[in-house]
Structure 1
Amino acid sequence: MSDERPPAEDFASVLNASRSGWNAAMGLRFVRATRDEVIGELEIGEAHRQPYGLVHGGVYAGIIEAAASVGAALDARAIGRGAVGLENHTSFLRAVREGMLRVVARPLARGRRTQVWEATVRDGEGRELASGRVRLLVVEPDVPIAGEAIAIDGEEDRR
């Protein structure tokens, strides 16, 4: 059985047009979204800051996981599967209070059952603010997660 995957199509405009949930609440916008690389941007606002006025560490961890999850899901989608996060290890390297955050995620390992993605968050000046690795589980579309099957390719949940 061949494990060849189709060429990397850019889904950024599709993702931005249907943005909802956490990505919409945080203001995360995708610049590029393929199965080989995901780039997203977020303009820092009041909702992103912790009580000291610094960007909350959860924002870094969240955009790292979002970018890695999108890439892994696009890769898994090519073979009729989905992907969900199992583990996120994010290191905070530099604090900022304002400006643009840019996350770039790329795969380190893509297996039949798990993937590992690495991501870096930089500010508008290119300084590295955070880095992380996300381990994801590749799942069949009919496997229930939190009580429901995941939707792949816009399909309704399969129950």
Structure 2
Amino acid sequence: MAEGDPEDFAAAFNAASIDGWVSAMGLRLVRATGDGVEAELDVGPQHRQAYGIVHGGVHAGIIETLASVGAALHALPEGRSVVGLENHTSFLRAVRSGRLRAEARPLDRGRRTQVWEGSVRDEQGRLCATGRVRLLVLEPDAVLAGQRAGAPG
């Protein structure tokens, strides 16, 4: 994908700061399209659990975020939104510091559900976590937690 590609929504997403978890974690999208999402995160004290390694929830959250962004970008042109149904993340290598790089790609994009697969790697390119996220595709008039889906909350 060429730099500045109008189909890449990473810069707009980063500037909007619409996702509190993403902002709190310091996750930066590098590329964001309906066909794949890439991000990076500089590990800090807020990412570590008691043993001094990156918390598994951070890995799971990164994978779910990237899958959700990609799935939403695929669904939005039809006026639909998405919400996660399952996140299965496996932790393969402990990380204490440095920059994490992550990516997610679609495995299946159906009318009612999408399945995305993601990975998180350390600065040396070693695989730290992998995951699979299943998302429900919501119709434009769907209500989620008492509000129309996609409405700011």
- Match of 2:87? 88
Between the aligned partners of 2:125 and 2:89, the Cα distance in structure 1 is 18
Between the aligned partners of 2:142 and 2:79, the Cα distance in structure 1 is 13
**Structure 1 position 72, deviation (Å):** 0.2
**Structure 1 position 142, deviation (Å):** 1.7
For structure 1, the residue ranges without an aligned partner over 5 or more in a row are 1-7
Match of 2:13 among 9, 12, 15: 15
Tell me how many residue pairs correspond in the alignment: 147
Where do 1:8-87 residues align within 5 Å? 9-19=7-17, 20-87=19-86
* TM-score using structure 2 length: 0.93
Divergent runs of 4+, >4 A: none
Q: Which amino acid aligns with 1:35?
A: G
Q: Which amino acid aligns with 1:78?
A: P
Identity across the alignment (%): 65
For structure 2, the residue ranges without an aligned partner over 5 or more in a row are 1-5
- Match of 2:128? 129
Q: Which amino acid aligns with 2:44?
A: G
Q: Which amino acid aligns with 1:27?
A: G
Between the aligned partners of 2:38 and 2:109, the Cα distance in structure 1 is 18
Between the aligned partners of 2:38 and 2:78, the Cα distance in structure 1 is 22
* Cα RMSD, aligned residues only: 1.4
* TM-score using structure 1 length: 0.89
Between the aligned partners of 1:143 and 1:33, the Cα distance in structure 2 is 25
- Partner SS state of residue 78, structure 1: helix
1:109-138, Cα deviation, whole Å (9 max, x unpaired): 000000000001001110000000000000
Q: Which amino acid aligns with 2:71?
A: A
- Partner SS state of residue 77, structure 1: helix
- Partner SS state of residue 125, structure 1: coil
